[in-house]
A and B are shown apart, each in its own frame.
Chain A
């Protein structure tokens, strides 16, 4: 056994002993409490503390609460006990295995991450192309803040995707239920109001960032040959972002949503030659109705995101191929 392996073995043993002592102490404490009359938890105090975020008061949803946390309302509820002692046990088992392995093989221990990388690379051969992608030099002039506007837009798209999926769990795209489901998200769903607020404001931020990125590219002349297609794909992404905004605006199905959509589709309907066709395609009929809501929902959560992803891929691949435009 090498010196370091022996050290780790004793460290693991120490951790296990400490955990055992803690378990004994906690058990003794719980038993001592069980023999004395039970103390009623003051939930009015709990509600003002951080704990209210994780421990719902029993008056809110007792069964869900029992299901997740067990009957114990103290710190050592079964879930926490399993998590803490389970992790400690796994760490201990790993330490024993590692020490034994080093002892037997007389070789330094190879980290698990290195093993995992080797295992994947043996099967997929990704490390060579990946390191080629990752080591591509980025010019120093691109390390200014105005070069990250496009990246911020892309990240906001990710934020919108995640919060949008969360909202889609509760949203119902029907005229009868849409409004009530938004109310449910705002009032009943845990952190629903927060998720909706993030989705709402990040949508506005995405449009601002998209436009700022476009103006930056325009001013610096980054659209010039050979980057014309990058500009066009960017313009399509801007239009798709606006379509996101336009379709998402109808979904709450309140007065503002309904009449903004009526006005917006009216304007689209006054395009010469194809106006009526566009109007009927958008509204699914001559008026904004439940069918419009369904169509806008499908556009908002499936069609436009897929198109956006496709154009984003094209946009990024062209940036990679052509490099960042060198400013004058």
Chain B
């Protein structure tokens, strides 16, 4: 075991055993939750719908809940935007937005400050509320 210098000792804990112990408790908690879900699953199984039938389209076709917001966005986009087909416009803008998020660290490369952090917090909260609203709208429509 390497020894930490006194300065490190004050504002840090060793990875083992202190941090590993904390993580272990988190893991135990998740495991307990998983077992509870499993026991509940014995009484309330996930279940199945009717077997797949390519010839019979159900009335309400919906993707998984985590794609529901995007799906809702695509559904209510006007058929023609700026002279382009609506769906193509929507899909393209979603892909561009995703690419922007992926390379975001290179776009926002200035040193951080409190003001920028607050702005990011506000943007995140508004975005999360919007996505949750879209998801709920998609779920009930």
State the A residues within 8 Å of B (CB).
131-141, 143, 148, 151-152, 155-156, 159, 175, 179, 182-183, 186, 191, 193-198, 200-202, 204, 207, 215, 218-221, 223-225, 227-228, 231-232, 235-236, 242, 245-246, 249, 252-260, 262-264, 267, 270-272, 287-289, 328
**Roughly how many angstroms separate A202 CA and B32 CA in the complex, as a whole number?**
12
B127 to chain A minimum Cβ distance, whole angstroms, is 9
Q: Which residues of B contact A (CB under 8 A)?
A: 1-2, 4, 8-9, 11-16, 18-20, 22-23, 26-27, 30-31, 34, 37-42, 44-54, 56-58, 61-67, 71, 74, 87-88, 91-92, 95, 101-106, 108-109, 111-114, 116-117, 120-121, 124, 128
A262 vs B124: C-alpha distance in the bound complex, in angstroms? 31
Q: Are A201 and B37 in contact (CB under 8 A)?
A: yes
Q: Which residues of A lie under 8 Å from residue B34 when comparing CB positions?
A: 159, 198, 202
Please name the residue on chain A nearest to B99 by beta carbon. A235
Measured CB to CB, the nearest residue on chain B to A196 is: B46
B42 touches A227 (CB 8 A): no
Contact among B104, B114, B124 for A231, CB-based, below 8 A: B104
**Number of CB contacts from chain A to chain B under 8 A:** 200
Q: Which residue of the partner chain, among B19, B27, B44, B71, contacts A263 with CB atoms under 8 Å?
A: B71
- Nearest B-chain residue to A231, judged by Cβ: B105
**Overall SS of chain B's interface:** helix
Taking a contact as CB atoms under 8 Å apart, the answer to whether B13 and A138 are in contact is yes
A253: nearest chain-B partner, CB-CB: B52
For A264, list chain B residues within 8 Å (CB). Answer: 63, 67
Q: Which of A155, A219, A220 contacts B27 (CB 8 A)?
A: A155
Known: A191-B38, A218-B124, A328-B112. A186 touches B61 (CB 8 A): no
A139 in contact with B12 given A253-B52, A272-B88 (CB within 8 Å): yes
User: A255–B19 contact, CB under 8 A?
Assistant: no
Besides the known contacts A179-B52, A186-B45, A197-B40, 13 further A-B residue pairs in the complex with CB atoms under 8 A apart: A134-B20, A136-B15, A197-B42, A197-B46, A201-B41, A215-B128, A219-B120, A223-B105, A224-B105, A255-B50, A257-B52, A267-B87, A271-B95
